[in-house]
Structure 1
Amino acid sequence: MVVLAASIIGKSGKALVSRQFVDMSRIRIEGLLAAFPKLVGTGKQHTFVETENVRYVYQPIEALYLLLVTNKQSNILEDLETLRLLSKLVPEYASSLDEEGICTSAFDLIFAFDEAISLGNKENVTVTQVRQYCEMESHEERLHKLVMQSKINETKDVMKRKASEIDKSKIDKNRGEKGGFMSMSSLDRIESSFNDMSISSNGSGFGSASGFGLSTDTESLSSKTKGRPPTSANAPPKGLGMKLGKTQRTNQFLESLKAEGEVIIEELKPSAIQSKGSLPPTDPVTLTIEEKLNVTIKRDGGVGAFDIHGTLAVQILKQDDGFIQLQVENRDIHGLSFRTHPNINKELFNNEHIIGLKDPKRPFPCGQNDVGLLKWRIQGMDEAAVPLTVNCWPSVSGNETFVNIEYEACELFDLHNVVISVPLPALRESPGVRQIDGEWRYDPRSSTLEWSVLLIDSSNRSGSMEFVVPPADTSVFFPISVRFTAASTFSDVKVTGVLPLQEGPPPKFTQRTQLITDNYQVI
């Protein structure tokens, strides 16, 4: 049997839903469906009509026709069995057995027809199996939804507890503000709050408090109970208690996020930022040489992309030290191309490898910011020069997925702070790590396993890790992201000397070199 098309046709002859199963032109299918209402006579009980080329097998459904168009060589019994299966599927997916209901559920009916008929042949399926196939339920999706719902419920519980604590603190505060009577618990709470405060020498600055605004009457009462003379400190500004309480709640919320495994980047205090920025460089001239790696490694072997971008920047503190030129050396490596800043003398650099301004009477810019002088790019590197290769071997065995990951580092570099991030399916619990060379951390928010190695040198050029998770597709564990740094570069660009353009000795200089990853993945 070969089913050419399946369709639901109204009594007016209009095709509401039509699905083609073989390679035929659209005009041919539309012609066959348009000819069907003319062939069906009124009052006839036959379930099929034959023409010279095709056979129409149909069944009335209230005000509609369910129609199969087959070739004449097909088995009529199989045609009727297929028609019976489709007639059971139509009420399952159609909201109502009229033209409006059929048009509304057109896509669902087409998907159900596709599960029942494949390439013109009937599939050995039931209505329950077709419904299951169309729903496409995923165990990973259900598990992810359960994890998300549990997190939402936990957050709601935390919110309720915080709200009750805030209401309780408001009630205690209102009791303390009423004149006349004060309980011993409120008095002890105010005394502890007062003792925790750090008052400046002029009596107007507060270092910390527990969230209560204290008046001078409360202060004098606390001083009398402690046997100390009253102080002249003024009351806190209006709203200070509210602000401090808000800060305390924010800190508690951040601590709860940290307990769940969330990485929180805390802002530095202004004093800390100022102190850090106020530290000047140790030498008058500071040179920064940096190379960034863009590497894509294929999971089946080979390198998809291997690109290196480098920069040379200078920081000069005083203008008098800016009248200099820089002598540069580099390794002779294939595919290395340089590009200088527009204000740099290109001929001088190309002929003598000296970085100097076009106008030697002008100094290099001075200040706290780095000034870029030279850029370079390396392309066409060999696969053997990749600093770190990562291989992932996932395999499903029963109700578990065993994942083995190994790294191999080349001998050109010693890698620092290596982090290999492996994506995982949504998990209720942390993965079971059975063996690892280094340390690991699981982030439940992003469902990522981070494998950390502090240093990779000659003692550990290779390492491995093995962990177990529930059954999952092998593609879930990709792409794998890699981060690391190194103290040397591919091009080995370095400044060998500073040449002064004025009388006097050359200024002292410091040189910092590093290799970092910009985009390093295993796909």
Structure 2
Amino acid sequence: MVVLAASVITKTGKALVSRQFVDMTRIRIEGLLAAFPKLVGIEKQHTYVETENVRYVYQPIESLYLLLVTNKQSNILEDLETLRLLSKLVPEYSPALDEEGICNMAFELIFAFDEVICLGHKENLTVPLVKKYCEMDSHEEKLHLLVRQSKINDTKDRMKQKASEIDKSKIDKSRGDKGGFMSSGLGRLDDGFSKMGISGGGGGFGSGSVHGLGADLEYPKPKGPSSADAPAQAPAKGLGMQLGKTQRTNRFLESLKAEGEVILEDISANTSSTKASLAVVSTDPVTLSVEEKINVMLKRDGGLSNFEVQGTLSLQILSRDDGFIQVQIDTGDNVDFQFKTHPNINRELFSNQNILGLKDPSRPFPTSQTGDAAGLGLLRWRMQSTDESLVPLSINCWPSVSGRETYVSIEYEASSKFDLHNVAISIPLPAVRDPPSVRQVDGEWSYDSRRTCLVWSILLIDSSNRNGSMEFVVPAADSSAFFPINVEFTSLKTFAEVRVAGIVALKGGAPPKYSSKVQLLTDNYQVV
């Protein structure tokens, strides 16, 4: 057999891919291809047409033709076998069997045709062999790529190691600038803790997020007379650092927004960066923080699997002279909560009078840095319950399949006991390329393509919107694909309602000025 040319053409005779295998002029090839559509009959069952000089062997491929032009002396059986092999190669290299898809893969198809037919004669090949020859797989090339990737990985490891060394040197330098507190003063600190009865470890706190006094209470190294100016300078220094941090944080948040991340802003935040920094960093000599974290596991069909509340009360003091105090708190009528004080706190004083003070009143509470948001843990409480009425936010999700689409209706119901801020409800979605079609929403929504989830956000839930709903449509999927649903929010009210009643100065005189913060956070809040 002798194959003159192999082509993929449209039904109008337009050649999308054409490869000639013998010495023929371009005009001759174009003339043969242009004549082919006129020779093809509509009702003919065979797949070849003969003229005076050539034979057309063809096969329809959707709206196109795969065509071989051979001489009349060629073996028709071999021609059909060649055509069958080429018909398998075309979809291998061009998944889209239309004009655009064929044109995009024209060079790959021509190279594949060249492997099958050489100088007009068929080669004894299979589809895997053709693909292998076209790929020109080489052991030396693979080895080269592995060596290059190994060098890249080594370079990255060295960069990480160097960056770690630089960070470590900066930390050591900053510690040295603070008067050698962490190095030369460490032995004197341990001696002072031993005399005071404060030792390392968590004591009765166990493992948790509460900072133990033994591990966290730090006393500054004694200074000369100039140390009296330190309390007045500390807040100013902290403010300057916080302003720079806020600017970097704003730039980071803007970059996340550009990537499609959902960034919820507190409705009470001021637009001025300076005022926002002042709200974060307290300038009061004493700051008391009440923080509760809630862990909730709700069942998708109703009911409660887990409900746990953990709370802490933390203290932050800027000046050592203000550390001679005791804290009066109000725990209310909380019979469901278990309260624990740090071992170095006077438990009898707390049990009888709800006052938090050190066992040795001649010693002050240690100071902490302005940027230390965690503070010093003094009190811890915990509650577990199976009462579903305590849940601050209930979520109901109803997926239903209709034809090729799934309609998802989701609603929330908030408790009247809490006003919730910055609520974000993340609903996982099946693996889809396009965002879902949201038909109705109370609040705002966004699609996180990186996590493949729909984020429903409400800035504030109060008495005006205790209930809300959203409806969206995605391609048909199993109902389990929309779970677990993750929920995040904050509140200015806690379950235990622990509050600071006041502070008492142990050395007489007016007690130092103080501020208190109260916040409820979600630690792990899911609907499974």
- Relative to the length of structure 1, the TM-score reads 0.48
- Relative to the length of structure 2, the TM-score reads 0.47
